[in-house]
Chain A
Amino acid sequence: MNESSDLLTLRSVSKSYGAVPVLHDVNLAIRDGEFLTVLGPSGSGKTTVLRLIGGLEPLTSGAIRLDGQDISRMPINRRPFNTVFQDYALFPHLTVAGNVGYGLSVRPVPRKEIARRVAEALELVQLGSFAKRYPAQLSGGQRQRVALARALICRPRLILLDEPLAALDLELRRQMQEFLKSIQREIKTTFLFVTHDQEEAIGMSDRICVMQAGRIRQLGTPHELYYKPNCEFVARFFGENNLVPGTLGRVQGELRSIDTALGRLVCSIEGQPHLKSAPEGARAFAVFRPEALHLTGAHEAKNRFSGKVVDLAFAGSSTVAIIAAGENEPAPRLRMRLPSRFSGSALTWGETVALSFAPREAHLVLS
């Protein structure tokens, strides 16, 4: 990792509320200009990370550095970060312009310049004609954009977004995702985005940091997390992975075998030295995505097993089949995703099919 491009670093940051620990030894480097998402279920400590960086709460231990300088004790109003709060936290007694200009009006900035920059910011979030309205007169999406304009008007080094899309309906949320991303590209400011929605995270982020129970589980690009989760939690949390438990077998170059209820499966361990060095017989999971699973002919040699279709669900462009795989009971349930066809499904209920997946489309996580 290139140290010089790091904007903000968290070193062994811990936080407890009284005796209740919420963050354990969190290390994180935020790169300048990136869109970093902190993803996790509720109670994972993701919002706490954001509040600690924003200065809304003091650290219990560790340090936060901005450009190498420790800012752990810097008061909230002097940190060059601004937050978009979950419920927007707009000032109900101020107009849209008053809200957006607030951050400038508490500094010695001439009125004229405030007016100019407010107009500029409102133009950026496409609310130019709403300057004189009050927050109560706006829709959820509009409030959201006011909150964003208010946060970016002071040209902060980092914009912190605390689940800002959670209160919006699906359609609006999609629009706002694209909108946020385009704004981020336009103003070239680092965004730290907190969410519990993995789809949102995948669609928007340069990198994603997955948290669980106050710890960082994995940090990487959406592609890495999607195809190479490094633990059971991330594999399960990230979409609809198939996890088949088993015990590790031999290493064969960049592949390793695992003995499961579906027989001996072979999975990729490319770029994951800890899986290469794990002892034989260790408990692990074979992990592969629903779209990696194929109907197969007799010639496939590896990762081949039979299964019975127990459920079929049409989902538009694709069809999801639930397969009870293998001969043994209880049969592991696998999820398989097939492209939908005009002439109907390739599978029928109750049908027994031969399935396989390519070794390089599957990999292992230790349990």
Chain B
Amino acid sequence: MTGSGPATPLARWRPRLVTLLAFAMPVIFILVPLAIFLGYSFFSVNQGEIDYTLTLVNYSRFLSDPIFLPVFWNTCALCLSVAVICVLLAYPAAYFLTTLKGRWRYMLLMLLMVPLLMSYVIKIYAIRSILGLNGFLNKALVGLGILQEPSSLFVFNMNAILLTLTLLLIPFAILPIFLTLERIPPILRQASDDLGASATQTFMRVTLPLSLPGVASAASFVFVLAIGDFLTPQMVGGISGFTFGRVLYSQFGTAYNWPFGAALSVALAAVVVTAILLGERFGRNRGASL
């Protein structure tokens, strides 16, 4: 090559350096820690000291112990319920948003997203006070005559976790559903009307199928966030609301068994990856988009 090539060696290497950094960042900050965790799951703890000989004891304990597996499945079921309820509540909200015009649509969307700006802990406290024995929910139910006296049905148990997670995560379900609904070209609905479909038929045969990708990503989003949460179960779950996240948390805290905690994390990570892959699989439209 002749003419005005890069002047200094530094200038010549700069693009490659930037490329290298771009790849190095996720490797160092994401893949390496994950690999270290995976490695830890094959160690064991002996009298408070980590024993670095490779073993499968953590995994066999997880699979054979009568406590961990049921908690694991219960947590999966709980988070699945959260995901389903979130989607069921978010869909009409998102649909309503798309029927609004211009400015109102985004104003309302912003309002729905405002809770995301608040501290997580404060939100949990707020919800706990609503669900509590003297909380708004009980007072309302008693006031309406549905309950004779305040019930502890909504606090310090699995129900409380379910309700709280649903309330906390619903914005994460509204957003992807809204975005796919908004992206459906209005002309498709008009084409359906033009071909003689009623409003219900148009919704069931055009709008709903075309919005399923958003529903799938919303569900996997909520599920993943819910299953990784240990703070919410800790704060509203009480003694009976014991989730896998809490078990995991305790392994790194009070139980001080990092290798076992790492093995449990691997199990959790497997579920999360599966959920994301499922979301991705159903998130794609059959026959691709137009």
A residues whose Cβ falls under 8 Å from a Cβ of B: 54-56, 76-78, 81-83, 85, 87, 89-93, 95, 102-103, 105-107, 134-137, 150, 154
Contacts and interface: CB of A to CB of B under 8 A. Distances in A.
Given A92-B288, A136-B288, A136-B289, A102 B190 contact: no
Nearest to A153: B195
Q: Which of A82, A89, A137 has its CB near the most chain B CB atoms (within 10 A)?
A: A89
Contact of B287 (A55, A106, A107, A134): A134
A47 to B, nearest CB: 12
Contact of B193 (A76, A135, A137, A154): A76
18 contacts: A77-B196, A87-B187, A89-B191, A90-B290, A91-B191, A91-B210, A92-B287, A92-B288, A93-B209, A93-B285, A93-B287, A102-B197, A105-B205, A106-B198, A134-B286, A134-B287, A135-B287, A136-B289
Contacts of A89: 185, 187-188, 190-191
Given A92-B210, A93-B209, A83 B191 contact: yes
A289 B253 CA distance: 93
Interface in B272-290: 285-290
A56 B190 CA distance: 7
A93 to B, nearest CB: 5
B26 to A, nearest CB: 32
A92 B187 CA distance: 12
B194 interface: yes
A136 B191 contact: no
B289 A83 contact: no
Given A82-B194, A85-B191, A106-B205, 7 more contacts: A90-B290, A92-B289, A95-B287, A102-B197, A102-B205, A107-B196, A136-B289
A135 B290 contact: yes
B195 A134 contact: no
A103 B187 contact: no
B209 to A, nearest CB: 5
Contact of A137 (B191, B194, B210, B287): B287
A135 B201 CA distance: 21
Most chain A CB neighbours (cut-off 10 Å) among B187, B201, B210:
B187
Nearest to A57: B190
A77 B195 CA distance: 6
A78 B161 CA distance: 49
Contacts, number: 77
A154 B185 CA distance: 23
Nearest to A101: B195
A150 B195 contact: yes
Contacts of B195: 77, 82, 102-103, 106, 150, 154
Nearest to B185: A89
Contacts of A102: 192, 195, 197, 205
A256 to B, nearest CB: 49
B197 to A, nearest CB: 4
B150 to A, nearest CB: 49
Contacts of A103: 195-196
Nearest to B288: A136
Given A102-B192, A136-B287, A91 B206 contact: yes
Contacts of A106: 192, 195-198, 201, 205
A93 B198 contact: no
Given A56-B194, A77-B196, A77-B198, A85 B287 contact: no
B205 A54 contact: no
B194 A54 contact: yes
Contacts of A85: 187, 190-191
A92 B192 contact: no
A328 to B, nearest CB: 54
A134 B191 CA distance: 17
Nearest to B194: A83
Contacts of A93: 209-210, 285-287
Contacts of B197: 77, 102, 106
Contacts of B192: 91, 102, 106
A53 to B, nearest CB: 11
A93 B188 CA distance: 11
A92 B196 contact: no
Question: Most chain-A CB neighbours within 10 Å: which of B195, B198, B201, B286?
Answer: B195
Contacts of A105: 205
A102 B187 CA distance: 15
Nearest to B286: A93
Nearest to A160: B194
A249 B188 CA distance: 57
A93 B285 CA distance: 7
